[in-house]
Amino acid sequence: MARDTASNHPVAAQSLPDVGYVRRLSAEGLLSVSPDLIRAEEGAGPPETFEVLEGSGLPVVSIPMGYDLPAVQAKIRAVAEALDVAQDGEYLASQVGDDVSEARQLAGVKDQKVLFVLSVQGGDYGGR
């Protein structure tokens, strides 16, 4: 197993070999850890790296982007399917959906939208 530079959770992931930044991966770096499967989020690259990987015959699974609940559930399902535990992934995706619904009810949250702007100028955080 290996990870990209930005993957630091859980803490144990930090002990895995670092194969580079997700948008600047090299085929050599990825292949150097002798993987039997590569899972990468959509947008990982550069595209030339993934052309080489796909040409290597190694299975390359693209995990969908997104941060809302349906996107998170799609990520769970995609990873579970890639690991051949689709039924477990379906259960987890359903459980996460239930947990989020319950948390929203407890907090009284509806479909509100929030905007947070953080401006860093001269080391001064002007977030509002």
Q: Where are the domains of the chain?
A: 1-63, 65-111
CA gap 5, 9 in Å, rounded:
11
CA distance readout (Å), 55 to 44, 49, 58, 60: 17, 10, 8, 10
pLDDT of residue 124: 52
pLDDT of residue 65: 92
pLDDT of residue 120: 66
pLDDT of residue 117: 81
> What parts of the chain have a pLDDT lower than 50?
127-128
Strand partners, 18: 3
CATH class of the domain defined by 1-63: alpha beta
In total, the chain counts a number of residues equal to 128
pLDDT of residue 118: 77
Tokens of 105: 């009810």
Find, among 77, 108, 109, the residue nearest to 94 by Cα.
77
Rg (Cα) of the chain, in Å, rounded?
18
CA gap 117, 89 in Å, rounded:
34
pLDDT of residue 25: 94
What is this structure's pTM?
0.75
pLDDT of residue 94: 98
